[in-house]
Every structure is written in structure tokens, then in C-alpha cells.
Structure 1
Amino acid sequence: MANTDKFEMIASMYDTPERIHIAKVSSDAIREYVADAKSKNAIDFGCGTGLVGMNLLNEFQSMLFLDTSPNMINQIKQKITDSHIRNADTLCFDFEKEILSDLRADYIFMAQVLLHLPDVELVLSRLFDVLNEGGHLLIVDFDKNENVVSEVVHNGFDQVELARLMTKIGYRDIQSRTFYTGSKIFMGQDASMFVLDAQK
């Protein structure tokens, strides 16, 4: 995944109070779209140190923490060990480079991951293939923000355009809303975040 090198370097220092707070509001937003999932399995895609997924562990039967950064995966492995968590596993893998044909999930969620992906459509298509029929993809990311100028990340997303792209891939029943606004939370700029739920 793009920016893996950067995440490799900051893995051990990643869990700042600000990131922990954003992960909390993100997981709360995701939880609103999770229903009767105690028998379902989930993937925390681009999990980083697992801040969002750890908040949602009790909602699912099992969870796979997936990231392209070995150092990030080592951080979440440590958390799983330290907390004696039984229903979680980890996988270091890059969906942009290869396909996992036998991976399946009822829920996939990705928080502030999409903005790091050069080819958004490719990854959303591959995640569509991973979802079981009736499964949900939940995305938390930044609304389009013209004040953010960067060569390494997208400057957020227009919810309508993103829904249009996902409909083209095959997702249905797409709903989204802005759920949080914060000061200097996106590349030093004030920004808002949305949650999007789409079904296969």
C-alpha cells in the first residue's frame, strides 16, 4: 500500500492521544452500522496499530487485522498477546499488488485508509470480491478538503462521487453521512469525516 514506508517508521509512536480519540469516534460511527454480527467475521483493513478494530472486537465472532506494514502488524500482535485476545488474527499483505483468493469476510472496515491508496477503484473492487454475499464494507475517511494539498494522499472524498464509483463496482444500498468535525485533524487543516456503509 502507498505510504507503507512512512508507517513503518512511526509504528512504535503511532498511538498518540489524538489518534486514539479519532479512532474512538471512528469506531463509534462504524458500530452504528453493525447489526447482529456476533456470528460474523470482520477485517480491519489497513489496520495500523489496530486502534479502530480493538474497539470493535466484541461486535464480531472474529477479526483479522490486515496491513501492509510489518511494524504496524507487530504492534497489533503485541496488543493481542498482552490482552489475551482469542478472536483476533493478523495478516501482513498488500491488496494493491496481489490477490488473496481464499479470504472472505462478512464485514470489512477501513478508517482513514482510502486516502492513502493511489488506485481507489482497484482496492474497492478487490474488497468487493472478499465480501460474502450480503456483507458490508464500512469506510471512514475525510470529506473532500480543498485546503489540503498533498502529493502523498488524496485530499478527502466527495461522498456522492465515491458512492457512484462503488455502485459501478457492484456495491448496493450505499448510505453515508458526515459524523465528525475537528480542528487541524487532516494535514494540519480543520476537516470533517464521513462514514459510508455499502453492501454486496
Structure 2
Amino acid sequence: MGNTDKFEMIANTYDTPERIQVAKVSSDAIREYLVDANSKNAIDFGCGTGLVGMNLLNDFNSVLFLDTSQNMINQIKQKISDFNIENAATLCFDFEKEDLSDLHADYIFMAQVLLHINDIEFVLSRLFDVLNEGGHLIIVDFNKNEKVVSDIVHNGFDQVKLTDLMTKIGYRDIQSKTFYNGSKLFMGQDASMFILDSQR
């Protein structure tokens, strides 16, 4: 997945107060879309240091923290150990390079991950295959932002275009809304974030 090298370098210093705050509003937004999740298994896809997934551990039967950066995964392993967490597991894996046919989940959530993925249709198709029938993919990311110019990330997403792409892949019952605005939130620019819920 994109920018793994960068994340390897910043893993130890990733949990800033700003990131912790954004993770909290993101996990609160995700929680609103969960249905009978206590018996369900989830994947925190592109989990980073697990800031979002850790907030949702009590909402699921289990959470698998998945990331391409081993250093990020090591941070989560430390948290799991420190807090004696029993319903979490970790996996260092790159969906853009490898296929993982035996991985399945009822919920997949990804917060500020899609903007780092080069071929989003390919990865969203892979995630569709991982979802159990009726399972949900929940995406939290930035709305399209023309002020953000970058060679390493997408400058956000148009909710309508993303919905159209996901419909083409096979996702259904897609709903999305903007839920958060923040100053200097995205590459130093004021930005807004959306949440999108979809089903297989």
C-alpha cells in the first residue's frame, strides 16, 4: 500500500493529540453505523497505530488490525500487551501486492486510508471479496479538496463518484455524509471528512 516507508519512520511518534482527537470523532461516527456488532468480527484496514480500532474494541467480538507497516503493527502489539486485550489480533499485509483468500470479516472500516491507495478500485474490490455476505465496509476520509496538492496522496474524494465506483464493484445500500470539519486537518489545509457505509 502507498507510503509504507513513510509510516515505518513515523510509527513511534504517530500518536499526537491531534491524531488522537480525529480518531475519536472518526470512531464515534463509525459506531453510529454498527448493527448488532457485538457478535461480529471486524478488520481495521490500514490501521496505523490502531487509534480508531482501539476505540471500537468493545463494540465487536474481535478486531483484526491490518497494516502494511510492520512498525505500526508493532505499536499495536505493544498496546494489546499493555492493556491485556484479548479480542484483538494483528496482521502485516499488503492487499495491493498479495491475495489473502482465507480472510473474512463482517465489518471492515478504514479511516484516512483510501487517500494513500494508488488503485482504489482494485483494493475496494479485494475488500468486497473479504466481506461476508451482508457485511459492511465503512470508509472515513477527506472530501475532495482542491487546496491540497500532493504527489503521494489523493486530495480527498467526491462522495458521489466514490459511490458510483463502489456500486460498479457490487456494493449496495451505500450512504454517505460529511460529519466533521477541522482547521489544518489535511496537509496543513482546512478540510472536511465524510463517512460512507456500504454493504456486500
TM-score, normalised by the number of residues in structure 2: 1.00
Q: Which residue of 2 aligns with 1:99?
A: 99
Give 2:111's aligned amino acid: A
Q: Which residue of 1 aligns with 2:36?
A: 36
1:69 matches 2:69: yes
Give 1:88's aligned amino acid: A
What secondary structure is seen at the aligned counterpart in 2 of 1:133?
A: strand
Match runs of 1:1-200 below 5 Å = 1-200=1-200
Give 2:181's aligned amino acid: T
Shift of 1:35: 1.3
* Distance in 1, Cα, partners of 2:19 & 2:8: 16
Give 1:9's aligned amino acid: M
* Distance in 2, Cα, partners of 1:177 & 1:43: 22
What secondary structure is seen at the aligned counterpart in 1 of 2:39?
A: coil
* Distance in 2, Cα, partners of 1:138 & 1:115: 14
Shift of 1:11: 0.1
* Distance in 2, Cα, partners of 1:195 & 1:38: 21
Give 1:16's aligned amino acid: T
Q: Deviations over 1:107-132 (max 9, x none)?
A: 00000000000000000000000000
* Distance in 1, Cα, partners of 2:62 & 2:13: 27
Give 2:97's aligned amino acid: K
Work out the percentage of aligned pairs sharing the same amino acid.
81
Runs of 4+ more than 3 Å apart: none
Give 1:171's aligned amino acid: Y
* Distance in 1, Cα, partners of 2:183 & 2:113: 20
Shift of 1:49: 0.2
What secondary structure is seen at the aligned counterpart in 1 of 2:196?
A: strand
Shift of 1:194: 0.2
Root-mean-square deviation over aligned CA pairs: 0.3
Unaligned runs of 5+ in 2: none
Give 1:47's aligned amino acid: C
What secondary structure is seen at the aligned counterpart in 2 of 1:64?
A: strand
Give 2:172's aligned amino acid: R
* Distance in 1, Cα, partners of 2:186 & 2:40: 32
Aligned residues: 200
* Distance in 1, Cα, partners of 2:161 & 2:150: 20
* Distance in 2, Cα, partners of 1:63 & 1:145: 31
Give 1:126's aligned amino acid: R
* Distance in 1, Cα, partners of 2:38 & 2:185: 33
Shift of 1:164: 0.2
Unaligned runs of 5+ in 1: none
TM-score, normalised by the number of residues in structure 1: 1.00
Give 1:75's aligned amino acid: Q
